[in-house]
């Protein structure tokens, strides 16, 4: 099932021709309308007429989050503010917020892409979509909202929080599709169980989750607890918001909507492309945005390109694997690269634990230490102490085997680790480096 079959199933040759045409237009526009890009291009001696193939994209410099902060708030816009009808921004928790603008056409494009994404995950205009992504400056809530309206589905704009009310509305309003972060979906499942509401008492059949890395084991956990099919959606505010890429119902990689974005996977250290299948940093160039076009934006998200045609849906757009982490939240512990999603995958593969965990990194003398706190299922926690000790030993062994470093494992009671209504906090780094 497609929303825009002509675009989504376009032959690869035609798609590349379209990408090149739109890339050349975008490069010309940013050169003439965005002083930051003109300066950068002039510094390396590149002009728009030098871009004659998709491979020439590599002649252009990367754009980083620092570039956006240096041009805060509006200096990266390619249109006058009078043409901008919507402004979103990041939280700014690690510095100045990054500010993005949208023209009316940008909003129409975003709604079209989100409608595509929802259909890709099996939604239709017959669905009731409970949108528990946050509304506001964050792009998640409004992105899903306008896509659902474009699709013609019934959208419940409930945002995050007030979880018991979420469950009541889910049951009473006949919600069929839930959209939120995977960690919040897990919390909803817990509260649902506490309220004595069984998944079969709802009409919920599908969940579309994103805005934070999550593992295949987390997918299986959510599907079992909520009685749904769970799909991964990808996007980021700087690029457009949710709707950059989406899993189809085959659940074998996320299709990037390449008629609007050109994706590269690079080695984050060298900036050079990596081979298909090799993990690297996702870099995106927007080729249809008017207000806030981006050239080779380094997302910091780590993924890998999946080679070959999709065996499930007939869409021709390239696929990427699920996001496994971010280069800037990758932990380096005793010289080893560690992503929280790796730990999550190990914990959920062992069983007897809940998908609620916290990594605490510290330093004793000159040695980094890693403590993994993980909640044990209530049934197992009431078991004998020896059973808990054995479980700790199994987790320690599997973590060391997977990550290549030792870790202290601390099993904690159910409901000990703080829940999130948005993006989950998985790491506390106490090192003074």
If DSSP codes are grouped into helix, strand and coil, which group holds residue 221?
A: helix
Evaluate the omega torsion of the peptide bond into residue 73 and state whether it is cis, within 30 degrees of 0: yes
Q: pLDDT higher for 328 or 267?
A: 267
Unique residue bearing structure tokens 């929280």: 340
| Burial (0-12, 13-18, 19+ Cβ within 10 Å), 344 | buried
Q: How many CB atoms lie within 10 A of CB 173?
A: 15
Mean pLDDT value of segment 287-295:
98
Mean pLDDT value of segment 27-53:
97
Q: Each residue of 73-131: pLDDT tens digit? A: 999 999 999 999 999 998 765 668 899 999 999 999 999 999 999 999 999 999 999 99
Measured between its terminal Cα atoms, the distance across the chain in Å is 51
Mean pLDDT value of segment 208-234:
93
Unique residue bearing structure tokens 């050349």: 24
For residue 88, the cross-strand partners are 100
Mean pLDDT value of segment 262-277:
96
What distance in Å separates the CA atoms of residue 65 and residue 1, rounded to the nearest whole number? Answer: 36
Q: How many CB atoms lie within 10 A of CB 348?
A: 20
> Residue 404 has what pLDDT?
84
> Residue 359 has what pLDDT?
93
Task: Say if residues 373 and 357 touch (Cβ distance below 8 Å).
Answer: yes
| Burial (0-12, 13-18, 19+ Cβ within 10 Å), 347 | buried
Task: Say if residues 204 and 228 touch (Cβ distance below 8 Å).
Answer: yes
What separation in angstroms does the CA of 374 have from each of 112, 337, 347, 364, 408?
Answer: 40, 20, 8, 22, 11
The mean pLDDT of the chain is: 93
The model's confidence at residue 433, banded by pLDDT at 50, 70 and 90, is low
> Residue 303 has what pLDDT?
95
Q: What percent of the chain has pLDDT over 90?
A: 73
> Residue 432 has what pLDDT?
67
> Residue 298 has what pLDDT?
97
Q: How many CB atoms lie within 10 A of CB 286?
A: 24
Least confident of 27-31, 183-187, 204-208, 285-289: 183-187
Mean pLDDT value of segment 274-293:
97
Q: Each residue of 302-321: pLDDT tens digit? A: 999 998 889 999 999 999 99
> Residue 144 has what pLDDT?
97
> Residue 139 has what pLDDT?
94
The model's confidence at residue 231, banded by pLDDT at 50, 70 and 90, is very high
The model's confidence at residue 18, banded by pLDDT at 50, 70 and 90, is very high
pLDDT at 339 over 80: yes
For residue 230, the cross-strand partners are 207
Mean pLDDT value of segment 1-24:
97
> Residue 93 has what pLDDT?
59
**Structure-token pair, residue 177:** 């599709």
The model's confidence at residue 224, banded by pLDDT at 50, 70 and 90, is very high
> Residue 384 has what pLDDT?
66
> Residue 380 has what pLDDT?
74
The model's confidence at residue 148, banded by pLDDT at 50, 70 and 90, is very high
Q: How many CB atoms lie within 10 A of CB 336?
A: 12
Q: pLDDT higher for 260 or 402?
A: 260
Task: Write phi, then psi, for 80 (nearest 5 degrees).
Answer: -65, 150
Q: Each residue of 369-426: pLDDT tens digit? A: 999 999 988 777 766 677 888 889 999 999 998 888 899 999 998 889 988 777 788 8
User: How large is the C-alpha radius of gyration of the chain?
Assistant: 22
């Amino acid at each position: 099932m497609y929303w825009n079959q002509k675009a989504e199933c376009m032959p690869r040759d035609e798609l590349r021709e379209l990408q090149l045409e739109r890339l050349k237009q975008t490069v010309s526009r940013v050169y003439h309308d965005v002083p930051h890009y003109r300066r950068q291009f002039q510094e390396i001696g590149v002009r728009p007429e030098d871009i004659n193939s998709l491979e020439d994209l590599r002649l252009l410099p990367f754009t980083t989050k620092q570039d956006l902060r240096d041009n805060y708030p509006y200096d990266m816009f390619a249109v006058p503010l009078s043409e901008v009808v919507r402004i979103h921004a990041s939280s700014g928790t690690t510095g100045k917020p990054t500010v993005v603008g949208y023209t009316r056409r940008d909003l129409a494009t975003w709604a079209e892409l989100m409608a595509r994404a929802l259909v890709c995950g099996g939604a239709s205009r017959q669905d009731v979509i409970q949108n528990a992504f946050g509304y506001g400056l964050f792009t998640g809530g409004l992105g899903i909202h306008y896509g659902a309206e474009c699709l013609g589905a019934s959208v419940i704009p409930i945002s995050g929080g007030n979880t018991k009310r979420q469950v009541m509305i889910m049951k009473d309003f006949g919600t069929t599709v839930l959209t939120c972060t995977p960690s919040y979906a897990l919390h909803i499942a817990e509260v649902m169980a506490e309220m004595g509401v069984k998944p079969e008492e709802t009409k919920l059949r599908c969940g579309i989750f994103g805005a934070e890395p999550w593992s295949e084991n987390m997918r299986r956990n959510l599907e079992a607890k909520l009685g749904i099919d769970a799909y991964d959606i990808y996007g980021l505010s700087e690029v457009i918001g949710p709707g950059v890429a989406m899993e189809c119902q085959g659940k074998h990689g996320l299709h990037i909507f390449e008629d609007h974005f050109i994706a590269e996977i690079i080695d984050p250290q060298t900036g050079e492309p990596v081979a298909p299948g090799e993990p690297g940093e996702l870099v995106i160039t927007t080729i249809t945005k008017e207000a806030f076009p981006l050239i080779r934006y380094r997302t910091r998200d780590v993924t890998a390109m999946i080679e070959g045609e999709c065996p499930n849906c007939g869409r021709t757009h390239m696929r990427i694997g699920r996001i496994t982490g971010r280069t800037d939240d990758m932990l380096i512990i005793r010289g080893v690269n560690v992503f929280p999603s790796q730990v999550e995958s190990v914990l959920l593969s062992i069983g007897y634990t809940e998908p609620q965990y916290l990594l605490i990194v510290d330093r004793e003398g000159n040695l980094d230490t890693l403590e993994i706190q993980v909640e044990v299922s209530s049934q197992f926690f009431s078991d004998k102490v020896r059973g808990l000790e054995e479980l700790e030993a199994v987790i320690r062994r599997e973590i060391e085997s997977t990550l290549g470093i030792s870790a202290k494992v601390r099993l904690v009671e159910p409901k000990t680790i703080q829940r999130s209504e948005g993006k989950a906090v998985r790491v506390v780094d106490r090192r003074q480096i």
